[in-house]
Every structure is written in C-alpha cells, then in structure tokens.
Amino acid sequence: MRKSNLYWSITDGWTMSQRSLKHIFREPESLLMAIGLPVAIMVMFVYIFGGAIQTGTDYVNYVVPGVIITCAGFGSSLIAISVTQDMVGGLFERLRSMPLLPSSLMIGHVTGGFIRNVIATTVIFLVALLIGFQPNAGFLDWLGVIGLLSLFMLSLNWLFVAIGLIMKSVETANAATFPMLFLPYISSAFVPTETMPVWLQAFADNQPMTPLIETLRGLLIGTPIDNNGWLTIFWFGSLLIISFIISGAIFKRRKKE
Amino acid sequence: MKDSIISVHYLKKAYGEHIVLDGLNFEVERGSIFALLGENGAGKTTTVRILSTLIQADSGTATIAGYDTHHESDFVKQNISLTGQYASVDELLTGEENLMMMGRLNHLDRKLVKKRTAELLEQFELTKAAKKQVKTYSGGMRRRIDIAISLLASPQVIFLDEPTTGLDPRSRRKMWSMIQQLAKNGVTIFLTTQYLEEADQLADKIAVIDNGRIVEEGTAEELKNMIGDENLELTFADFRAFQHAIKLIHGLVNEKEQRITIRTGSIESLRRLLNTLYEHEIEPSSVNFQKPTLDDVFMDITSRNTKELSANA
Ligand SMILES: Nc1ncnc2c1ncn2[C@@H]1O[C@H](COP(=O)(O)OP(=O)(O)OP(=O)(O)O)[C@@H](O)[C@H]1O
Ligand SMILES: [Mg+2]
C-alpha cells in the first residue's frame, strides 16, 4: 500500500506537532513564560500604570491586542530554540536517514508552535474578560481577528524556524528571541505612540507591530482602522512568504553539509 | 563466494583542503559484525554518514544491499538504520513515547508500532523505565533507547557510531552482549569504535582506519598475528639490576615500571636470553608471558603509518 508524499507529509507533520505539544506541558517553565508573563504584564499595566495612561478608552480594552501579540511573539520565538536543538542534536540526522521527508520536522515545529499560540491567546482573552475587557466585535470582526492573528503567528513561526536553522548553537538561538520581547513595547501596544520621543515615535509608527495592533484594536473595540488592515496583511503576508522560502532554502543547504 | 551487503570502493571525501577520506575500500559480509577502528578524527563518522546517505562522497562508490548510497538513497534508507555518535532521543518524552513517535515516522501501522515498542523495551531492559522521561535516564539507558529506536523498522543493516563511548565498564559489557544478540538475529552491524577491546570482543572483521585510509583489515586474530609472537615481560625490583639488564637485552624499555618487553621468537633465543641474565646474576622480580593485545597492534600500525608519512614528506 503506497500512499502519496502529501499524505505522509501531513501525517509526519502531525506526529511531529504532537511532539512539540507534549514539550509544552513537559517544560512548565516555558509554558509559564509564554502565558504567565504576558498575563502578568497585562494585569500590571491595567492595575498599576493603567490609571496614568490616557488612551481615550478603558485601559484594559486598549492593551489586550498588545498583550496578545507580545505573548504570541515570545511563544513563537521559542521555536528557534527547539529547531536549533533538533539540528545540533542528532534528531535531524536520524530523520534524514529514514525514508521520510525531513521537512516534516519544520512543519511539526510550526504547527506545534501555532497550537501553543492558540492556547496562550485563549488564556489571555479569558483573563482579560475577567478583569473587565469589553470587546464589541461582531462575528465578522472576530473572524478578522482570528485571521490576522493566525497570519501573524504563522509568519512569526516560520521566521523563527528560519532563525533556528541558521543558528549553530542553542545559546545563540536563545539570544535571537530577545528582540521579540522588546519589539511590541516600541509600538502602540501599551501606550499611544504620540507620547513617545519623536525619533522613537517614527520607528514605532512604522514598524509592523503598530498597524497589526491598531487593526486588532479596531476590530475588537471599534477604534478607527484606516489602511492599517492592508498594511498588516502586506507586512506579515510578505514575512510569511519570505520566511517560508528562506527556511526551505536553508533546510536544503543544511542537508548537504 | 562471500555475500557482501556493504561494498565500498575508492571512497573519497574532503572538507576544503582537508582530506578526510582518502580512497576507502572494504566489504562487509551479510550478517556479520564489522568494526571500523580509529582514533579521534580518523574519519569514522564521516564514513558512517556517507553510508547512511546523509552526505555524499566526492568520488568513489558505496552500495548497501546492492543499492547505491547516493543515486538510490531512498532504497538504501529502507534497509538501514543509524544510531549516531550523539544520542538523538527526545529528552522530554518518555522512552515509550520516543519509540512510538519514531515508529510512526517509520511509517509502521499503529498496531505494529505498539507491538515493536513493547518488544524493544523488553529486549533492552527498559520496560521499567518506559514511562519515565528520557532526561532522567542514565547514559547507558539513553544509549539503549537510542539503539532500540533504530531497530523499530527491522533494518537489515544497522550503523552504530561509537555505541559505548562514555559508558562505564559495566554498561559497556551489557551493550556488547546486546549487540551480539542482534547479530545472532541476522542483522548486519557496522560499528565504529576507538576501543580495541571492543572491536576484539565484538567484531568478525576489523578495519583500522587512519588518516582516511584502511591501513589494516582482518579478524582480531589476524591482526594480532601480524605483530608476531608472544612477548616476554621482565620486571625488576632492583634499579641496578634493571640498568644492567637494559645494557644486555634488546627490548622495549619502560623506565617507570622498570620493565623490559622482549619479542621472544624461538625457544633457543629465549633460552639464550635467560642464560645471559643468569650469567650476570641479574634476577627479575617477575617474568611474564604475554600475547600481544590489539592495543599493541594498533600502536604498531598507526605509528608505522606516521613514519611512512613523514618519510614521504
Ligand atoms: N562538516 C565538516 N566540515 C569540516 N570538517 C569536518 C566536517 N566533518 C568532519 N570534519 C573533519 O573530518 C575529520 C574526520 O571527522 P570524523 O567525524 O569522521 O572523525 P571520527 O573518526 O568520527 O572522530 P571521533 O572519534 O572524534 O568521532 C575531522 O578532522 C573533522 O574535523
Ligand atoms: Mg565520530
């Protein structure tokens, strides 16, 4: 009984994703980091700084999109570490000596990471609702939120697969995750960019996180979106395509080493 | 006629200027244990990686079960399994989960995966630890689960790259008997090792690799015979006697142990030697007859090789 390459890519990819999922729950620290930290940040911002930050709406409503992408960004960046681990450890070599498409390794990390993103995002939404988050999004708005978040997460996941493939050691892969911790802070995630110094505002307004956050905010609580929706799709659509192609190329090259 | 399952012809591989394999030739008989013996950096892992289709040789050919490792790598993969030099098990999964996952990736159906997993856990004495995470395993257990994984698909040839490096003597012995057990079941085993004792214990045939070439090949006995007869070891308690003996006898001197090792040759020369000592009233504290170990052979071969190299330069 011979089954097609596509069939095996999907089943092997799924087997590898199950593995990544198991990892999440076997490493409580990283689950804690991926969910606990953003929740803590959210609670802290809402209760400590929230009163002082003028956003024109309840601060909790303002901050939820930012917390979600901070969390997703950080969660995705962990993929780089696991990919590097598989490359420098023997797993990748072993898979390559077996009759299967070793690219299922990448698919597993991306899918597993995505499921981790979904879990973390759900937790954040729930905690946000508990502390007073009041979205007024309709059905289509919610679809938009889900679509954009998925695009964002998948593009980041592929980006970090690529980074994980490039890195030669787990330590450097670890270092590559740091920018993801900080990038959201230099955007409209936590404070309106108008409150920043001019030079920082220029960066914050033009980096991809800001249109994403503005769009999510618009969909969730009805603030104006303008052209931010298209900008978001452009930024992260390109990132997805580029990271995917680069990962594939590096993967092929590493096979020849 | 001999039935070779692995045939390697004029295999060459270089990384930049560095020639790692310099025209490797050997054959491995079906169902045998073959040991590739060499020091650090001799090219053992490189050879294993070429044979297991991970990398391509620059020139030369290697076939496994009749399939070319480069052009027919898909068929080769269906007949082999690789246990690399560094354990490739998932630390966070349990031993059982590791086996189940790799079984599925080997495209075995679910029932068979379950059956093989239980069998292999049993065979490698890991049933008790099956539900524990691999990160809690000892070095020996880790190595065992690693090898168990490579047996899931019932391959014809298994590659074990330094299967006992880093194991304590007890675990090493255990591993040896497990490897011997595998060979009894008809699997061909290609192993690499830095330990002569290991090659001696396990291998039907040993190939010594040095500087990217097979410098010697044969059974453990054949290799030992190459270096010749038995050695006589004379140890002296008294330093003066030792000094005196060095002047009279030609042999390998070990200053620290105050020992002289002599190739005995004929009975006649042995008698003459003892007579000489007797005439000079030198009395060794111990006299020891010794068959050469593979260590001697190895030192002999590799040092001979370096001499040749420096002579050529
Ligand atoms: N990818 C590579 N790039 C450059 N040089 C390499 C590469 N792989 C191996 N080498 C070199 O090839 C030589 C042989 O390496 P190999 O790993 O085959 O040795 P080995 O016999 O397995 O040694 P060890 O006992 O240390 O495992 C070494 O000098 C090593 O530095
Ligand atoms: Mg090696």
Return the closest-CA partner of residue A105 out of A33, A9, A195.
Answer: A9
Written as six digits, the tokens of B145 are 């689960």
Angle CA(B263)–CA(B269)–CA(B271) in degrees, nearest 5? 115
Q: Do B82 and A89 touch (CB under 8 A)?
A: no
Chain A residues in contact with chain B using a Cβ-Cβ cutoff of 8 Å = 8, 11-12, 15-16, 18-19, 22-23, 26-27, 89-91, 93-100, 104, 256-257
Q: Where are the domains of chain A?
A: 15-256
Alpha-carbon distance of B96 to B113, in angstroms, equals 11
Which among A196, A164, A169 is positioned nearest to A180, based on CA atoms? A164
Pocket test for ligand 1, best of B11, B13, B15 (most atoms within 8 A of CB): B15
Kindly list the averaged pLDDT for each block of 10 residues, start to end, along chain A of length 257.
78 92 84 80 84 80 89 87 89 87 88 91 92 90 95 95 91 81 84 88 90 93 89 94 92 72
Between β-strands B188-193 and B231-235, what pairing exists: parallel, antiparallel or unpaired?
unpaired
* Cβ atoms within 10 Å, residue B197: 16
Distance B146 CA to ligand 1 centre (A): 22
From residue B137, alpha-carbon distances to B89, B129, B143, B152 in Å are 11, 8, 9, 20
Indicate which atom in ligand 1 lies nearest the CA of residue B44: 21
Which residue has 């039907």 as its token pair? B204
pLDDT at B80: 95
Lookup: tokens for A120:
């973390």
Does the beta carbon of B41 lie inside 6 Å of ligand 1? yes
Task: Identify which of B44, B50, B58 to mutate to test ligand 1's pocket (most ligand atoms within 8 A of the CB).
Answer: B44
| pTM of the predicted model as reported, rounded to 2 decimal places | 0.81
pLDDT of residue B265: 65
Structure ipTM = 0.84
Q: Does residue A245 sit in helix, strand or coil? A: helix
* Percentage, residues of chain B above pLDDT 90: 52
Query: Do residues A166 and A77 lie in contact, with contact meaning Cβ atoms separated by under 8 Å?
Result: no
Q: What percent of chain A has pLDDT over 70?
A: 98
Tokens of B93: 């999964």
Query: pLDDT tens across A118-157, in order?
Result: 988 999 999 999 988 999 989 999 999 999 999 999 999 9
Residue with tokens 């010697």: B216
Regions of chain B short of the pLDDT cut 50? 313
Do B227 and B292 form a contact (C-beta atoms < 8 A)?
Answer: yes
Chain A residues within an 8 Å CB radius of B147 = none
Provide φ and ψ at B219, rounded to 5°.
Answer: -75, 165
- Pairing of β B205-210 and β B33-37: parallel
Number of H helices, E strands in chain B: 11, 14
B27 contact A CB<8A: no
Task: Give the per-residue pLDDT at B310.
Answer: 53
Q: Using CA atoms, how far apart are residues B52 and B161, in angstroms rounded to an integer? A: 11
What is the residue whose two structure tokens read 């192609």?
A245
Contact of B74 with chain A, judged by CB distance below 8 Å, is answered with: yes
pLDDT in tens, A31-44: 777 788 888 888 88
What CA–CA distance (Å, rounded) separates A133 from A91? 44
Q: Which residue in this structure is represented by tokens 């504290």?
A: B285
Determine the pLDDT at residue A140: 93
Residues A99, B81: C-beta atoms closer than 8 Å: no
For the segment B201-224, what is each residue's pLDDT rounded down to a tens digit? 999 999 999 888 998 899 988 877
Residue-level pLDDT at A93: 87
Q: So what's the pLDDT on residue B313? A: 46
Residue B36's nearest CA partner among B192, B144, B183 is: B192
A31, A44, A155, A218 from A38: Cα distances, Å: 11, 10, 20, 21
pLDDT given at position B47: 96
Distance in angstroms (rounded) separating the CA atoms of residues B303 and B296: 10
Q: How far is B107 from chain A (nearest CA, A)?
A: 8
Number of other residues whose CB lies within 10 A of the CB of residue B305: 16
Render B150-203 in DSSP notation, one character per residue. Answer: HTTT--SEEEEESTTTT--HHHHHHHHHHHHHHHHTT-EEEEEES-HHHHHHH-
